[in-house]
């Protein structure tokens, strides 16, 4: 996951050098930053329930950690193939849930239904977080345009005034659009794309774990299950 922080830092540096470090104070218009940055955060809170926001926060933090790999649980699955009641040290939610179902004595049909629902629930949580970001990406440019309109209105009001300072009005008009485009295209959309790629990887991982758990639940021969685990890990 080293590419995530490297990409973020590289994007920030490209923006800084493109603007010109000596010109950086020109872009630091507090009115624009408050309107676009603060407005984006407010809309994020306004448009999403707390559960989605919590999930989004957890998913963003997960970007700094290794992606779940089938290799991480293959030994646990092989152990369960030999004995479903065996104690395994795993943090995988699907495996833990399957063990709970076995402990409760669920029959084969009920196990399949409940495990499928759990798998869909885990997948949907990731989809909700990604969709929240994609929905959010359309607002910063719109807020930037609103800031531009505000700046132009202020500019028009000062055109006939003697000694009027048009610089602050123009600065808000231009920097608001800049902040809107930068936040949407350099932060929110790349973050959503990154989460979506992670979600695709997680979905594939969950599918592999799910199918092996079904084999174990059907009490297939342990050697057959171990071969299946080995082929999926490869």
Q: What is the predicted pLDDT for the residue at 1?
A: 62
Query: What is the chain's percent helix, strand, coil content, to nearest 5?
Result: 80, 0, 20
Q: What is the predicted pLDDT for the residue at 172?
A: 74
Q: Are 191 and 137 in contact (CB under 8 A)?
A: no
Rounded to whole angstroms, the Cα distance separating 202 from 70 reads 10
Q: What is the predicted pLDDT for the residue at 163?
A: 58
For the chain, domain boundaries: 29-65+81-233
Q: What is the predicted pLDDT for the residue at 160?
A: 66
Residue ranges of the chain with per-residue pLDDT less than 70: 1, 160-165
46-67 pLDDT, tens per residue? 999 998 899 889 888 888 887 7
Q: What is the predicted pLDDT for the residue at 192?
A: 92
- Joined together, the tokens standing for residue 116 give 């499928």
Q: What is the predicted pLDDT for the residue at 15?
A: 85
Q: Are 222 and 86 in contact (CB under 8 A)?
A: no
Q: What is the predicted pLDDT for the residue at 115?
A: 94
Rounded to whole angstroms, the Cα distance separating 1 from 10 reads 15
Half-sphere exposure of 115 (CA within 13 A, CB side): 28
- What lies within 8 Å, CB to CB, of 226 at 6+ separation is 78, 81
Rounded to whole angstroms, the Cα distance separating 179 from 36 reads 6
Write out the E strands in 93-201.
Answer: none
Q: What is the predicted pLDDT for the residue at 174?
A: 85
Say what the pTM is.
Answer: 0.79
């Amino acid at each position: 996951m080293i590419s995530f922080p490297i990409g973020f830092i590289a994007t920030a540096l490209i923006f800084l050098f493109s603007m010109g470090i000596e010109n950086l104070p020109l872009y630091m218009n507090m009115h624009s930053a408050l309107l676009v940055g603060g407005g984006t955060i407010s809309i994020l809170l306004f448009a999403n329930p707390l559960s989605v926001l919590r999930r989004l926060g957890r998913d963003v933090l997960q970007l700094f950690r290794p992606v779940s790999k089938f290799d991480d649980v293959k030994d646990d699955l092989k152990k369960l193939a030999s004995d479903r009641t065996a104690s395994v040290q795993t943090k995988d939610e699907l495996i833990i849930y399957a063990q709970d179902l076995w402990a409760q004595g669920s029959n084969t049909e009920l196990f399949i239904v409940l495990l499928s629902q759990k798998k869909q629930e885990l997948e949907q949580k990731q989809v909700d977080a990604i969709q929240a970001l994609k929905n959010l990406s359309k607002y910063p440019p719109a807020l930037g345009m609103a800031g531009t309109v505000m700046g132009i209105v202020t500019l028009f009001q000062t055109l006939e005034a003697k000694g009027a300072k048009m610089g602050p009005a123009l600065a808000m008009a231009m920097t608001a659009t800049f902040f809107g485009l930068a936040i949407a295209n350099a932060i929110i959309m790349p973050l959503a794309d990154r989460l979506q790629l992670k979600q695709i990887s997680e979905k594939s991982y969950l599918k592999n774990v799910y199918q092996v758990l079904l084999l174990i639940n059907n009490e297939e021969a342990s050697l057959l299950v171990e071969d299946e685990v080995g082929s999926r890990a490869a």
